[in-house]
Amino acid sequence: MATLHSRAAARLMITPAVVLLLGWMLIPLGMTVYFSFLRFNLLAPGTESWTGLTNYYFFLTDPSFWDAIRNTLTLVIGVLLITVTGGVLLALLLDQPIWGQGVARVLVIAPFFVMPTVSALIWKNMFMNPVNGLFAFLAKSVGLQPFDFLGQAPMASIILIVSWQWLPFATLILLTALQSLDTEQLEASEMDGAGPLNRFIYIVAPHLARATTVVILILTIFLLSIFAEILVTTNGGPGTATTNLTYLVYTQSLLQFDVGGGSAGGVVAIILANIVAIFLMRMIGKNLDA
Amino acid sequence: MARAVSTRRKATFTVAAWAIALAIFFPILWTFLTSFKTEGDAIASPPMFVFFDWNLSAYEAVNQRTNYLKHFWNSVVISFGSTILGLVIAVPAAWAMAFVPAKQTKNVLMWMLSTKMLPPVGVVIPIFLIFRNTGLLDTRTGLVIVLMLINLPIIVWMLFTYFREIPGEILEAARMDGADLRSELLYVLTPMAMPGIASTLLLNVILAWNEAFWTLNLTAAKAAPLTAFIASFSSPEGLFFAKLSAASTMAIAPILVLGWFSQKQLVRGLTFGAVK
Amino acid sequence: MGAISLQQVNKAFGETVVIPSIDLEVTDGEFVVFVGPSGCGKSTLLRLIAGLEDVSGGTIKIDGSDATLTPPSKRGLSMVFQSYALYPHMSVRRNIAFPLKMAGLDKDEAMRRVDAAAASLNLTDYLDRRPGQLSGGQRQRVAIGRAIVREPTAFLFDEPLSNLDAALRVNMRLEISELHQQLKTTMIYVTHDQVEAMTLADKIVVLNAGRIEQVGSPLELYREPANLFVAGFIGSPRMNFVSAAAAESHGAHTVGIRPEHLDLSTTAGEWQGKVGVAEHLGSDTFLHVHLDGGGTITARADGEFPVSHGSAIWLTPQADKFHRFDADGNRLP
């Protein structure tokens, strides 16, 4: 629905956004790929030399890389399990007729707006600290030894913190999806003789399936890049117990100044993220046509 | 559809929902309470909930010993600056995609979104080096640019979904009424889309305010926003609970308030319209 | 002056040809109605004239000068849209004044014209309201007000009445007709409703699948439809068509007879049948008659005609009101 005039104008209007994003994508991405084939250390400037796949070889054979992959997957899957299951249950609960629904909802959503460094530090110090933390007090008051969460179960603790941050997101989206369910559909199924359980299985669950998939995909994109929570709680430790891929690349490049090795890790991270992104984009694309 | 629900059923659900909601909210509440304690009361055992000596000493300490206001101001400049700059670039682009769709429009939009999927570690090294060589490291300008770029796809996308709800006939009417493109955007589209533009602004300010990869990696002392400032409490300083709480409360309170206003837009913006 | 001339105008969206080629002359001051079923290309044709779409080929002349490449804002035409397309964020006054503001008209003069237009459309009391606070009919008037203030070369109407309820539609139809009598400006009006076409038009253009089937005054189209399509489209209820033996006896492939041109009798006549559904409208009764030889025919009787479901009835077509068509559906002389 348009004319040559408006089409020409449209091209002009869209150009700045396209050029900027194209530059943002291509220039650093190209540089990362290029660096990943170089021997390039910031501490020894001017000694860059082509090394082919050596960086990949070292990175992929480094035990800490496989630790990082395992940690990344543990973190992503652990948080997904908690947030998605919790989110579905919480959304179903909040969708029931309750007093003060709006306020309860607001309270549940709140953690999403807390910046990652703040939530990580509050949990680390005020709750999980084995001496003064609230959990230590609770343990002591029932006669147990305080548990050093971040020392003894660092990954589980980080999963807990991150889940607390993202549970609201999952809940909010699933709740929105629930509320968009056509009540006439539910009433029709009731007229057709479906009880509450059957209504959930045949009407509600299929309706939520789509939203759940979206939640899983989007969360995965964000969870693959978890960084600040690790930085301020464990610094990736003890050892490499909480070093995920993002954090490993950070250590290698910005702490050890090994640009080449870090870049190879970056490329691996991009490939991983893209696998998820492809599925997500498909879902969004389908929605665009509708 | 209004239906009678038995009071007992409603009461049961209410108690359950509120119990969980309060548990989830508790860390924030605890932080808020602790920020008004003295350091001694903050680590008292048993913990003190309400009956402690309410005072502002932690806030005073944070403001005196650190440059809190500077970091707060950095956060404001960076989050609003990047979002407003993003809007200026995104409004024309979203207009074009919503009202003059071409064969490629969908692909362009999808491609823009796909840049959002790029993991930051994939590009952090070149950006770091470019910034170091151009003097953008640890500057607000540098962060405004980066955060604008990482949020631009969301801004374009959100505006696009809002614009798409405006009937094209109204813009055509403006054209028939003799409006050129500039007048069409200025007098008709922008005022009509104002609620959508405001929501987009709000959500993206929140996202930029809380962004904690680029802000931590590209700043040191000078341009550090609150995310980076709070990170400095990860050292033993974090054991001063009252001061940590006071600094945290000041960092999250404004955005918590904005966030509660933007619940609906949050879903729309973060699911790219895949959930309505 | 408001003469519009289309020469070999055609339009394709990608591979889909919507309008193969159209030539049409609209003379100054004429009320022309484009009518046809949905998807016939009538709205597209209007949008081509408006400049909201580019032609794929051909020429559009407004007042003799080539306007094919002129953007819509420079064509000097006004348009009333199906959805009214009022600016929801502006008051009625600012809505009506918008074209004048765009034209850079001096403010006092603009307000004078807005007030005059509002007075003539009974909108004076609503000038400070927003479109959202108005009824459908009032919104329609605002849209018309916005169209008339700039004194355009011609008015374009895109199914302007289709969102109104039946009673209001009849009123607005009259108002638009009166507006045309007053202004004597060219109007091009698109509708799928043949009653609107018949009552409003000086000249009706019947479109089907992007082609012009016939151009003529309402009565020409009614009396001498050029083909089966026009015959079936113009007139309500539809013309009855009979083929086979009954048609061959008149030397045609198909004959048509309008429901109002059948004489009815409960005792004798040319065709015998049984009454199916009888629709009593008060002033008229429409009978759906199942002929004994097969086929169903609609006939108009007066309001008090005493038949009911299952009654036997005889129909006699008025000999001079037959329409004869050949095998291709074209009118035989």
Would you call B192 and C89 a contact, using CB atoms and an 8 Å cutoff?
yes
Res. B1 pLDDT band, cuts 50 70 90: very low
**Chain A residue with Cα closest to B130:** A28
- Would you write out chain A's pLDDT as a tens digit for each of its 290 residues? 467 777 888 888 899 999 999 998 889 889 988 888 888 777 777 777 788 888 888 888 888 888 888 999 999 999 999 999 999 999 999 988 888 888 888 899 899 999 999 999 999 888 888 888 888 888 888 888 888 888 888 999 999 999 999 999 899 889 888 888 877 887 888 888 777 888 888 888 888 888 888 888 888 888 988 998 998 888 887 878 888 888 988 888 878 888 888 888 888 888 888 887 887 777 777 766 54
For residue A290, give how far its alpha carbon lies from the nearest alpha carbon of chain C (Å): 21
Q: What is the pLDDT of residue C98?
A: 93
Domain boundaries, chain B: 7-60, 66-234
Please state, in angstroms and rounded to a whole number, the distance separating the CA atoms of residues C265 and C313: 6
Please state, in angstroms and rounded to a whole number, the distance separating the CA atoms of residues C159 and C143: 13
Is C314 in the same domain as C242? yes
DSSP single-letter state for residue B167: -
Residue with tokens 């004078």: C112
Q: Count how many residues are written for chain A.
A: 290
Of C73, C81, C85, the CB nearest to B180: C73
Q: Tell me the CATH number at C269.
A: 2.40.50.140
- Residue B5 confidence (pLDDT) above 70: no
Domain boundary among C231, C266, C293: C231
For chain C, the domain total comes to 2
Is C217 in the same domain as C253? no
C89: chain B residues, CB-CB within 8 Å: 191-192, 194
* Residue C116 domain-assigned (yes or no): yes
Strands C186-191 and C154-158: parallel
* Residue C333 domain-assigned (yes or no): no
Is C187 in the same domain as C290? no
Q: Touching check for A110 and chain B: CB below 8 Å?
A: yes
Q: What is the pLDDT of residue B2?
A: 47
Would you call B172 and C85 a contact, using CB atoms and an 8 Å cutoff?
yes
* Residue C330 domain-assigned (yes or no): no
CB pairs under 8 A between A and B: 318
Domain boundary among C197, C231, C265: C231
For chain A, give the secondary structure using H, E and C: CCCHHHHHHHHHHHHHHHHHHHHHHHHHHHHHHHHCCEECECCCCCCCEECCCHHHHHHHHCHHHHHHHHHHHHHHHHHHHHHHHHHHHHHHHHCCCCCCHHHHHHHHHHHHHCCHHHHHHHHHHHHCCCCCCHHHHHHHHCCCCCCCHHHHCHHHHHHHHHHHHHHHHHHHHHHHHHHCCCHHHHHHHHHCCCCHHHHHHHHHHHHHHHHHHHHHHHHHHHHHCCCHHHHHHCCCCCCCCCCCHHHHHHHHHHHCCEHHHHHHHHHHHHHHHHHHHHHHHHHHHHHHHC
Higher pLDDT: C221 or A181? It is: C221
* Residue C296 domain-assigned (yes or no): yes
Would you call C54 and A3 a contact, using CB atoms and an 8 Å cutoff?
yes
Is C319 in the same domain as C270? yes
Q: Tell me the CATH number at A201.
A: 1.10.3720.10
ipTM value of the model?
0.85
For residue A6, give how far its alpha carbon lies from the nearest alpha carbon of chain C (Å): 9
Is C136 in the same domain as C212? yes
Would you call A4 and C54 a contact, using CB atoms and an 8 Å cutoff?
yes
**CB of C277 within 8 A of CB of C309?**
yes
**CB of B174 within 8 A of CB of B182?**
no
- Give chain B's mean pLDDT: 86
Phi and psi angles of residue C286, each rounded to the nearest 5 degrees, phi first: -100, 125
Is C125 in the same domain as C110? yes
A2: chain C residues, CB-CB within 8 Å: 53
**Chain C residue with Cα closest to B177:** C99
Q: What is the pLDDT of residue C226?
A: 92
The parent domain of residue C102 ranges over 4-231
For chain A, the domain total comes to 1
DSSP single-letter state for residue C3: -
Is C305 in the same domain as C225? no
The parent domain of residue A174 ranges over 63-289
* Residue A18 domain-assigned (yes or no): no
* Residue A69 domain-assigned (yes or no): yes
Q: A117: which residues sit within 8 A by CB, 6+ positions away? A: A228, A231, A232, B212, B216, B227, B228, B230, B231, B234
**CB of B187 within 8 A of CB of B153?**
no
With CA atoms as reference, report the closest residue to B23 among A168, A116, A151.
Answer: A168
With CA atoms as reference, report the closest residue to A94 among B16, C63, C115.
Answer: B16
* Residue C61 domain-assigned (yes or no): yes
Is C210 in the same domain as C152? yes
C53: chain A residues, CB-CB within 8 Å: 1-3
Res. C61 pLDDT band, cuts 50 70 90: very high
Domain boundary among C175, C210, C231: C231
Q: Touching check for A108 and chain B: CB below 8 Å?
A: yes
What separation in angstroms does the CA of B65 have from each of B43, B68, B74, C80?
21, 8, 18, 67
- What whole-number percentage of chain C has pLDDT above 70? 100
- Give chain C's mean pLDDT: 89
Tokens of B58: 């932690």
* Residue A213 domain-assigned (yes or no): yes
Which chains are within 8 Å of B by 3+ CB pairs? A, C
* Residue A141 domain-assigned (yes or no): yes
Res. C302 pLDDT band, cuts 50 70 90: confident
Strands C240-243 and C296-302: unpaired
Please state, in angstroms and rounded to a whole number, the distance separating the CA atoms of residues B238 and B236: 5
What separation in angstroms does the CA of B165 have from each of A91, A211, B208, B264?
28, 22, 26, 16
Would you tell me how many other CB atoms lie within 10 Å of the CB of residue A84? 19
With CA atoms as reference, report the closest residue to B227 among B215, B237, B240, B236.
Answer: B215
Class of domain B66-234: mainly alpha
Residue with tokens 């430790």: A237
Is C140 in the same domain as C251? no
Q: B101: which residues sit within 8 A by CB, 6+ positions away? A: A1, A2
